[in-house]
Structure 1
Amino acid sequence: MAVIAALAWTLTTAQARDMGVEPGTMGMAVPLFLALWLVMMVAMMFPSVAPVALTWARGIARRSTGAVRAGRTAAFVSGYLLVWTAFGLVAYGLLALTDALVRDHPDAGPWIGAGAFALAGLQQLGPLKNVCLRHCRSPMLQLTRYAHYRPRARDVRVGLHHGLYCLGCCWGLMILLVPLGVMNVAAMAAVAAVVFLEKLWRHGPALSRVAGVAFLVLAALCLVDPVQDWLLPGLTTDGTPMEPMRPGEPMDDMGARP
């Protein structure tokens, strides 16, 4: 899983270098966006979910061969990634809406950014975050209950359930990619680091609260002109509004505008 995460980071970095940071979906069609989103989730989330996946596979199949455990781990991860792929559709809708708003009303960018940071900050400090983070940090009790599930598709179901807890814990952090830019590698790395430390560091809950307060401060700073260029790269177009994709406009082989 570490090797797969490293490969995903390599692919994401290469793709981001070619695409740059622009508002919204950057003209990507839904299939291309979901493919890139899935690679991003593998890069960002695998380091923190790997211990849970391996604990489940080793615990439930401890008398099985390595190949069986690997297969069960893959099933767990598949269920987990299904959750984040579904959230990718929500993210695409938010980015498409942001794209339209920024293109038609450039002055709305700072307010959208302030709203995104404020929402992330409130989520970090809210009760749902605490419940989901507690599960992600100490999943053993829940994993023990999952052991009583019927064997058919059990591993996928466990991955789905854990993915939902993970989504409840991290969706606010992912929303930050709207103002920071969905293909902003530095922002992705920072979010991935926060996710990893929240779940695996002994001071993770405290870090979560500190991050929440910091996001609320950044929400206020989004309305200050001098910091908008570096704080809201995903909501600016360098003075050149993006043209909407017209029906019949040619696309490249990946489903994006050439």
Structure 2
Amino acid sequence: MSFRPPGRLEVMSTERRPRMAEHPTARGRTTIALIAGAVAAWAVTVARMRGMDAGPGTNLGGLGWYLGIWVTMTAAMMLPSAVPAARHVARLARRMPTLLFTVGYLTVWTGYGLLAYGVFRLLTSFDIGWFGWDRGGPYAAGGTLAAAGLYELTPLKRLSLRRCRSASQDVNALRGGLAHGLDCVGCSGALMAVLFVLGVMSLFWMAIVAVAIFAEKVLPHGHRLPSAFAVALVALGIWVVVSPGSVPELTQPDARTPPMEMAR
């Protein structure tokens, strides 16, 4: 039986108590910061999108303006579902964990947005009339929706969702944000792609996609939802092909407001 001086035990207990108590406080601050950031981003998004083109195939405008609205959109939609991962990082990291995690996380989604912008510019550079809504547009949109639905059933989706729902052990907040962002793109990138064919400036579809992503990543039984979402997306794709005018909140291109770069 070993003997330790009582004074040493008292020193250890007083040293550990504040450190153990700071973790719940840090996690609470992280939750408040991310939710407040998401609310502010929604407010800015609603204000900036007022009067925008909310239909399929929205003109994405200049790169600088697009990036500004894209980062704001993704912050509004994605930060609430990133709270569990950010809280865990805040428990492990020491220096500005919430800020660094958020920077890393949104950096990945900004890269996704840049890729989407590049694809859009590439397709529009060909000036293919078939993509017009009065021709093959509904088929392209329906096919994209069906593809997003099928992706929900893939092994990559399951792996990414499992990683999104598990806690990262990285003590570096920036690296943790980047890693979680990559997992999140693998998990939710197809759902975000749905916005580009239904209306990337549509607040209604933004809210629907944001709720779906949050449900998958955060709710207790969210890991069971991809199958239901797959059926819903394929069904919606068929609906858009067969009768696009009857889809609720789907703005028809012939009744559009001016494109975004004209409505700044």
> Which of 87, 97, 101 does residue 76 from structure 1 map onto?
101
Is residue 114–residue 222 contact of structure 1 (8 Å, CA) maintained in 2? yes
177-186 or 89-98: bigger deviation: 89-98
Match of 1:204 in 2: 222
1:166 aligns with 2:184: yes
CA distance in 2, matches of 1:102, 1:205: 40
> What is the match of residue 83 of structure 2?
50
Is 1:5 paired with 2:46?
Answer: no
Question: What is the aligned partner in structure 1 of residue 12 from structure 2?
Answer: none
CA contact (8 A) 1:76 1:155 kept: yes
* Aligned equivalents of 1:80, 1:123: Cα separation in 2: 22
Matching of residues 141-220 of structure 1 within 5 Å: 143-144=168-169, 146-147=170-171, 154-220=172-238
Distance 2:85 2:157 in 1: 18
Q: Provide, for residues 129-149 of structure 1, a one-character-per-residue CA deviation record: whole Å limited to 9, x for no partner.
A: 10010011112xxx22x23xx
How far does residue 101 in structure 1 lie from its aligned partner after superposition? 4.2
Q: How does 1:1-258 map to 2 (within 5 A)?
A: 1-26=34-59, 28-61=61-94, 68=95, 71-96=96-121, 97=123, 100-101=127-128, 105=132, 106-139=134-167, 143-144=168-169, 146-147=170-171, 154-225=172-243, 227-228=244-245, 230=247, 233=250, 236-238=252-254, 256-257=261-262
2:25 matched to which residue of 1? Answer: none
Q: Give the secondary-structure state (helix, strand or coil) at the position aligned to 2:253.
A: coil
Report SS of the residue matched to 1:125: coil
Shift of 1:4: 1.1
Gaps (5+ residues) in structure 1?
Answer: 62-67, 148-153, 244-254
Q: Which runs of 4+ in 1 moved over 6 A?
A: 239-243
Runs (5+) with no aligned partner, structure 2:
1-33
- With normalisation by structure 1, the TM-score equals 0.79
Equivalence for 2:26: none
2:45–2:69 Cα contact (<8 Å) kept? yes
Cα distance change, pair 237–25 in 1 and its aligned pair in 2 (3 A)? closer
When the two chains are superposed, the root-mean-square deviation of aligned CA atoms in Å is: 2.6
Deviation at 1:98, TM superposition (A): 6.1
Q: Name the count of aligned residue pairs.
A: 227
**Equivalent residue letter for 1:256:** E
CA distance, structure 2, for counterparts of residue 12 and residue 79 of structure 1? 21
How much does 1:230 deviate? 3.0
Distance 1:206 1:240, change over 3 A: closer
Given the two structures, how large is their TM-score scaled by the length of structure 2? 0.77
57 and 9 in structure 1: CA distance in 2 versus 1, 3 angstrom threshold: same
Q: Deviations over 1:80-121 (max 9, x none)?
A: 111100110122234443695468643111111111111110
Alpha-carbon contact 1:82-1:160 (below 8 Å) kept: yes
Aligned mates of 1:93, 1:5 — CA distance in 2? 26
Percent identity of paired positions between Structure 1 and Structure 2: 37
